[in-house]
């Protein structure tokens, strides 16, 4: 559950439908006989995906797929949970990403305000999954938000030292590692935040399942992402897709696919921003009983493929050198 700034790799860098296998996603990836494992759709479980033709132009030949059954956009072949976490910790954080820039501060402030005006933060026990350098969680701890307690899960040891410097209680490791090490933590939190992290993990289903376990009855999860599938183009396509290991940004959500992902793990969406005219898609979802029927909207994969084709054409016609 590494991950950060969903969006432009080149501008600033960048996880009940059936599970693709009988293995519990919270157990992490299946044993790998190769460096990568091929995955079925993380949303609906279908093993029927079509390649997005335009993607290879920007990814140095690495494929990106959309599910024919539900339209979800994902990277099929992925490394292990730990390999992706290590890539973020050892390479992407150190070389490219910091939260200490105005653009990231602004979007974190928006998410904090959206949570507070939607369900309130004061008095809640908060777990931030993938806390990064810690400014978002520190803000939730302090006035005016005043959470009752804050805790973070972060795979980067270097970021762990920053969290300690901010006085933030934390676990250094993946969310899968935390779930294995602290089974007693189930039901310990009122609010779990996943801020530009769900797209960067190895299993978005696994991350949300663990978030459900960590929350007390009636608790909420908040997911924020910059994926913007099937929305007006915000940037050239080369600032959305780029070279490098594609599984460090394995999932790209639309409003429908994020709603369905939350429903799969037992979350009912209660609040969502108007993402069509905003850079951020932010959803607040309440923990429901597992097995309760919840909406799982789908996208048409042909519209998704056409969306990327149009984006590619516009990028090459007007922004190829920018």
Residues 268-288: tens digit of each pLDDT: 999 999 999 999 999 999 999
As a whole-number percent, the residues of the chain with pLDDT over 70 amount to: 87
Is 13 among the domain residues? no
Q: What is the pLDDT of residue 130?
A: 93
Quick check: is 14 in a domain?
A: no
Whether residue 80 is contained in a domain is answered as: yes
- Give the predicted TM-score (pTM) of the model: 0.87
Report the pLDDT value the prediction gives residue 322, as an integer from 0 to 100: 82
What average pLDDT score do residues 200-227 get? 96
DSSP state letters, 236-249: -GGGTS-SS-GGGG
Of 3-12, 57-66, 79-88, the poorest mean pLDDT is in 3-12
Residue 192 CA, distance from chain mean position:
13
**Rounded Cα distance, 277 and 199, in Å:** 21
Q: Find the DSSP H helices in 135-215.
A: 135-141, 157-165, 175-181, 204-214
Location of structure tokens 């006989």 = 33
Could you tell me if residue 252 is inside a domain? yes
CB contact at 8 A, 143 and 76:
no
Q: Which own/partner contact pairs does 165-168 have at CB distance under 8 Å and 24+ positions apart?
A: 166/134, 166/135, 166/138, 168/131, 168/134, 168/137, 168/138, 168/141
Which sign, positive or negative, has the C-alpha torsion 46, 52, 58, 60? positive
Residue range 203-229: mean pLDDT, rounded: 97
Closest CA to 154 of 122, 201, 199, 115: 201
pLDDT tens digits for range 185-211: 999 999 999 999 999 889 999 999 999
Q: Which domain holds residue 93?
A: 25-318
**Count of domains for the chain:** 1
Asked if residue 17 belongs to a domain, the reply is no
Which DSSP symbol is given to 88? I
pLDDT at 90 over 80: no
Phi and psi torsions of 170, nearest 5°: -155, 165
d(CA 266, CA 160): 30
Report whether 138 contacts 166 (CB < 8 A).
Answer: yes
CATH of residue 314: 3.40.50.150
Bridge partners (DSSP) of residue 78 are 37
pLDDT bucket at 7, cuts 50 / 70 / 90: very low
Q: What is the mean pLDDT of the chain?
A: 88
Asked if residue 209 is part of any domain, the answer here is yes
User: Within a domain: residue 2?
Assistant: no
Whether residue 5 lies inside any domain: the answer is no
Q: What are phi and psi of 274, to 5 degrees?
A: -85, 85
User: Which residue, chain included where needed, has tokens 């080369």?
Assistant: 238
In this structure, what DSSP letter does residue 20 have?
A: S
Residue with the two structure tokens 């490394």 = 79
Please say whether the beta carbons of 166 and 140 come within 8 A.
no
The stretch 27-39 carries a mean pLDDT of 61
Question: Is the CB of residue 223 less than 8 Å from the CB of residue 198?
Answer: yes
Q: In angstroms, rounded to a whole number, what is the distance separating the alpha carbons of residues 281 and 294?
A: 20
Q: Would you say 93 and 134 are in contact if contact means Cβ atoms under 8 Å apart?
A: no
Average pLDDT over residues 296-301: 98
Give CA–CA dist 9/149, Å, rounded: 33
Is the pLDDT at 18 greater than 70? The verdict is: no
| For range 221-235, the mean pLDDT | 95
Specify the pLDDT at position 87: 80
Q: Using alpha carbons, select from 36, 155, 151 the residue that is nearest to residue 93.
A: 155
3-state secondary structure of 67: strand
pLDDT mean over 101-123: 96
* Predicted pLDDT of residue 84: 82
| Residue in this structure with the two tokens 């951020």, named with its chain if needed | 280
| Cα-based distances in Å from 22 to 9, 25, 26, 30, 157 | 34, 9, 12, 10, 33
């Amino acid at each position: 559950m590494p991950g950060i700034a969903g969006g432009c790799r080149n501008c600033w860098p960048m996880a009940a439908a059936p599970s693709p296998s009988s293995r519990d996603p919270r157990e992490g990836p299946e044993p790998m006989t190769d460096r990568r494992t091929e995955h079925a759709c993380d949303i609906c479980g279908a093993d029927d995906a079509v390649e997005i033709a335009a993607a290879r132009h920007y990814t140095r030949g690495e494929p990106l797929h959309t599910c024919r059954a539900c339209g979800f956009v994902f990277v099929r072949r992925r490394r292990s949970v730990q390999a992706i976490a290590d890539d973020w910790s050892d390479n992407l954080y150190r070389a490219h990403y910091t939260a200490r820039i105005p653009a990231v501060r602004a979007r974190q402030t928006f998410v904090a305000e959206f949570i507070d005006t939607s369900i309130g933060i004061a008095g809640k026990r908060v777990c931030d999954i993938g806390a990064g350098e810690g400014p978002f969680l520190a803000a939730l701890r302090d006035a005016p938000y005043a959470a009752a307690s804050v805790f973070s899960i972060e795979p980067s040891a270097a970021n762990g030292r920053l969290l300690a410097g901010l006085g933030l209680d934390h676990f250094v490791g993946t969310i899968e590692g935390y779930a294995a090490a602290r089974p007693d933590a189930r039901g310990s939190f009122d609010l779990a935040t996943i801020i530009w992290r769900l797209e960067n993990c190895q299993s978005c289903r696994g991350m949300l399942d663990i978030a459900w376990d960590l929350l007390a009855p009636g608790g909420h999860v908040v997911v924020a992402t910059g994926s913007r599938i099937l929305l007006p183009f915000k940037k050239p396509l080369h600032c959305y897709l780029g070279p490098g290991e594609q599984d460090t940004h394995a999932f790209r959500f639309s409003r429908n696919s994020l709603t369905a992902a939350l429903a799969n793990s037992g979350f009912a969406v209660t609040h969502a921003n108007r993402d069509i005219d905003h850079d951020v898609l932010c959803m607040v979802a309440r923990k429901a009983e597992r097995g309760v029927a919840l909406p799982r909207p789908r996208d048409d994969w042909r519209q998704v493929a056409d969306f990327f084709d149009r984006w590619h054409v516009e990028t090459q016609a007007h922004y190829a050198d920018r």
